[in-house]
């Protein structure tokens, strides 16, 4: 596995690969890797000749200085995990390398970003879109891999790929969970023991909402039941729990048979902000439940 630190080195490397007719996969990450990331890397290694993994804790997508400062940074442990998973090139740039000057361009994803993470973390998706588009330009992948735990991020990146005509296929994979249901996240490392023990209740709340919806409850009733369940846990402070169309991300009020729905939440758990979601695809919904 090669480790590259500069944009020029990555560009030269990927240009050579393209000239040699190799198929390139990119897995953009912020490091502190877990099984969710490694599944993306393994999938990319199966589909592509060259797998580029970027590790960059992107300052422009954090709207909370402490969250950025405390984000786990474990480059050596990450590198040790990546080679056996099939990573060919690890791209580890500095902030100065990725942002030789402050970006002036601003992305606006309209309704897609006026909800959930976009509404609660102003500027977040501008930062994500800026860094992901830079990574796409530098690595020119045929495929780019993202995890569905960041459901809204996948929707935003898909929109960006479409609007800007990036010539690549976006591949997304379902959330990987711990045995007790907690969604794997780099931030889980920061959870104090008590908060870690309580954290699986977030997924249980999502399951409760999904179950209510499939039984024909209104979105408001399902949302209230899940929020009340979360409210029983003093370690949690719920930021939002929204039930939305899985593609447009706009809130739904009544369940429409055949509609793909996502239930998303963000909560502070023992001082750590976690997000999670559950997706209801049309075929999972009870026939006639409406």
Which residues are at the interface with ligand PAF (CB under 6 A)? 28-30, 58, 61, 128, 131-132, 150, 153
What does 230-288 look like in DSSP terms, one character per residue? HHT-TTEEEEEEEEEETTT--B-SS--TT--EEEEEEEEETTEEEEEEEEE-GGGSPTT
Nearest approach in angstroms of CB 107 to ligand PAF is 13
Closer residue to ligand PAF, CB minimum distance, 19 or 69: 69
Torsion of CA 178, 207, 272, 83, to 10 degrees: 30
Question: Of 163, 158, 134, whose CA–CA distance to 145 is shortest?
Answer: 158
Q: Look at residue 206 and give its three-state secondary structure.
A: helix
The CA distances from residue 202 to 162, 182, 184, 196, 240, in Å, are 33, 7, 12, 11, 12
- Three-state SS for 161-201 is HHHHCCCCEEEEECCCECCCCCECCHHHHHCCHHHHHHCHH
If phi over 0 gives left and psi between -120 and 50 gives alpha, with beta otherwise, what is residue 116?
left
Where does residue 48 rank: exposed (0-12), middle (13-18), buried (19+ CB within 10 A)?
Answer: buried
Nearest approach in angstroms of CB 60 to ligand PAF is 9
Q: Is 25 annotated as a binding residue?
A: no
Q: Is 11 annotated as a binding residue?
A: no
Closer residue to ligand PAF, CB minimum distance, 28 or 270: 28
Q: Is 149 annotated as a binding residue?
A: yes
Q: Is 30 annotated as a binding residue?
A: yes
Nearest approach in angstroms of CB 70 to ligand PAF is 15
Half-sphere exposure of 81 toward its Cβ, with a 13 Å CA cutoff?
19
Closer residue to ligand PAF, CB minimum distance, 197 or 273: 273
Q: Is 34 annotated as a binding residue?
A: yes
Pairing of strands 236-245, 261-269: antiparallel
Closer residue to ligand PAF, CB minimum distance, 160 or 267: 160
Catalytic positions are 37
Nearest approach in angstroms of CB 147 to ligand PAF is 7
Closer residue to ligand PAF, CB minimum distance, 24 or 217: 24
Closer residue to ligand PAF, CB minimum distance, 138 or 219: 138
What distance in Å separates the CA atoms of residue 117 and residue 202, rounded to the nearest whole number?
16
Q: Is 148 annotated as a binding residue?
A: yes
Nearest approach in angstroms of CB 153 to ligand PAF is 6
Nearest approach in angstroms of CB 88 to ligand PAF is 18
Q: Look at residue 74 and give its three-state secondary structure.
A: coil
Binding site as annotated, residues:
30-37, 61, 147-150, 153, 176, 184-187
Binding site as annotated, residues for (R)-pantoate:
61, 153
Binding site as annotated, residues for beta-alanine:
61
């Amino acid at each position: 596995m090669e480790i590259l630190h500069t944009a020029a080195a990555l560009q030269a490397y990927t240009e050579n690969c393209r000239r040699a007719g190799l198929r390139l996969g990119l897995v953009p990450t912020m490091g502190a890797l877990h099984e969710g990331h490694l599944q993306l890397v393994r999938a990319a290694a199966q589909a592509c000749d060259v797998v580029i993994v970027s590790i960059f804790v992107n300052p422009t997508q954090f709207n909370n200085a402490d969250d950025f400062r405390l984000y786990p940074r474990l480059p050596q442990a990450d590198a040790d995990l990546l080679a056996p998973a099939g990573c060919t090139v690890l791209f580890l740039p500095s902030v100065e390398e990725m942002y030789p000057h402050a970006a002036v361009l601003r992305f606006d994803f309209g309704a897609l970003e006026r909800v959930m993470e976009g509404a609660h973390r102003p500027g977040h998706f501008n930062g994500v879109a800026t860094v992901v588009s830079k990574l796409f330009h530098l690595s020119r992948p045929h495929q780019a891999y993202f995890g569905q735990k960041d459901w809204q991020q996948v929707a935003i990146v898909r929109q960006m790929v479409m609007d800007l005509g990036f010539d690549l296929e976006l591949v997304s994979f379902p959330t990987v969970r711990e045995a007790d249901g907690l969604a794997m996240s780099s931030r889980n490392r920061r959870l104090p023991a008590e908060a870690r023990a309580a954290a699986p209740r977030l997924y249980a709340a999502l399951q409760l909402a999904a179950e209510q919806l499939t039984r024909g409850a209104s979105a408001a009733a399902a949302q209230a039941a899940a929020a009340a369940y979360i409210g029983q846990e003093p370690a949690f402070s719920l930021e939002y729990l929204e039930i939305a169309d899985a593609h447009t991300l706009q809130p739904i009020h009544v369940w429409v048979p055949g509609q793909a729905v996502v239930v998303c939440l963000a909560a502070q758990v023992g001082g750590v902000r976690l997000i999670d979601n559950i997706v209801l695809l049309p075929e999972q919904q009870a026939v006639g439940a409406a």
